[in-house]
Amino acid sequence: MSADATHPPQVLVVGAGPAGLVAGIALARHGIGVLLVEKRAAISTLSRALVISTRSMEILRAWGLEAAVRAGAANVEPCGWVTPTLASGEGVEIALGFPTAAQAAAVSPTRPAWAAQDHLEPLLLGLLRHYPSAQVRFDAELIGLEQDDDGVTAAVRDRPSAGTQSVRAEFVIGADGAHSAVRELLGIRLEGPDNLAEFHAVQFHAPLTELLGPRRYGLYVITHPDAACVIGRRGPGDRWGCAREWRPGQDRLVDADEHRIAQLIRTAVGVPDLHPRIERTSAFSFAAQLADHYRAGRGFVVGDAAHRMTPRGGTGMNTAIHDAYDLGWKLAWVLRGWAAPALLASYEAERRPVGRHNVERSGDPAGARRTAEEALPHDLHGRVAHHWLRPGDGAVSTLDLLGDGLTLLTADDEAGWAAAAARLDTRAPIVVHAVGAPIATAAGAAPNGAVLLRPDGKLAASWTEPTVPPTADLTGLTPSMRAGS
């Protein structure tokens, strides 16, 4: 098995969930040859994750997907409502760590979207297939992997025919979930507790929106003693989910008939004559585990292959998106010759601490309850501050200035910042934006200075004046400074 001869695979991505799709897009945007293989016949139809975080939406916005994502999102605040039943009219609002629309407007050009995973994945798949350097193959299972100094050789089995073929690439990314074959073949271990709890979930349709009136929340925590559960929106309209932890002595929802499931939903909703239409049931186990390494030689793990999280806090899919985006642009830079291979060491160094924090939060029984002030810094993870350069229609954020290369922000260019940037010994393109003193200072520049930003908006270097070399470590990004800089 080989990719199109015009775009031989430089990176093999295993797994077509959000992590694999985002990694593929981040690479293919740079013209990197990507072959994504997925053992399933198609992407998942389970709604699974329900909310796309602020930072995830910033990435999707930069890729032109924001409007399409919001078209399949529920018009709710990403908060919870604790109540005896949906119909009771009584309850209390709880924070889930995501900013409200008003809170998000102060820190970002976008806001979280309450959109189910099975709405997001087709959008990502469509975008990936748009790039000529990317190929996606379903019903293709990784069964072997070897690596040497120059690359990796993978054995991939075509499941319908049972035929096995060889794929050669420079790197491999394991985005193949909690039971990752790539992780196992790389010798990477998961650390932490498995099987913390067993949860059962039901996806259903029922006319609940009118019942709720102005109480438009993402999650409803039902406290009725006969129907304790969590009911969540699965996007716009009246598509819903009901989930609860299974305890010995309880009915197993995945084994119950539709009559029993419907009765549980009626009790939780508080409407005895409700007739929900059951779409499907599923079971999943809670785990809070972290990979001991995110890299082994030329192999990397992202998403659930790198960390298993409970749904508490809604960080699982979002952490996966951020992992994949981070690794994708860094691999692309190295493969394009824009950066030294040393840059790849920053993937584990920067992303594993985030994974640890989110795994620990998800393992906390109260981990879902965080204020936006507590959780948002971990989501945004140090990217440049958002500020509008001009208000109204056509407004541009500081985040909109970021490109695939390096971005220099300064108050003005009269001091010769463009010339200073040109003296950097880097093959990556550098774009200079004179944004005015207040915004440059807010972005981290010293008075009359400048900041150099990576594609993810993080600081690469800073100057106090254009004749002084940068004060930050540019290892990997810019291997050296030219004489006379």
- Cβ(467)–Cβ(398) below 8 Å: no
Residue 327's pLDDT is 98
Per-residue pLDDT of the chain (485 residues; tens, 9 = 90+): 344 545 789 999 999 999 999 999 999 999 999 999 999 999 987 778 999 999 999 999 999 999 999 999 999 999 999 999 999 989 999 999 999 999 999 999 999 999 999 999 999 999 999 999 999 999 999 999 999 999 999 999 999 999 999 999 999 999 999 999 999 999 999 999 998 888 899 999 999 999 998 889 999 999 999 999 999 999 888 999 999 988 887 878 888 999 999 999 999 999 999 999 999 999 888 899 999 999 999 999 999 999 999 999 999 999 999 999 999 999 999 999 999 899 999 999 999 999 999 999 999 999 999 999 999 999 999 999 999 997 666 789 999 999 999 999 999 877 788 888 887 777 889 999 999 999 999 999 988 899 999 999 999 988 888 877 676 566 667 533 332 22
Residue 355's pLDDT is 97
Residue 466's pLDDT is 84
CB atoms < 10 A from the CB of 160, how many? 10
Residue 479's pLDDT is 39
Q: Kindly list the structural domains of the chain, giving each domain's residue range(s) and its CATH number in brackets, ordered by start.
A: 11-48+116-194+288-380 (3.50.50.60), 74-112+197-286 (3.30.9.10), 398-481 (3.40.30.120)
Place of tokens 């810094």: 377
- The answer, as to whether pTM is greater than 0.85, is yes
b/e for 54-90, b at 16 or more Cβ within 10 A?
bbbbbbbbbbebbebbbebbbebbbbbbbbbbbbeee
d(CA 125, CA 122): 5
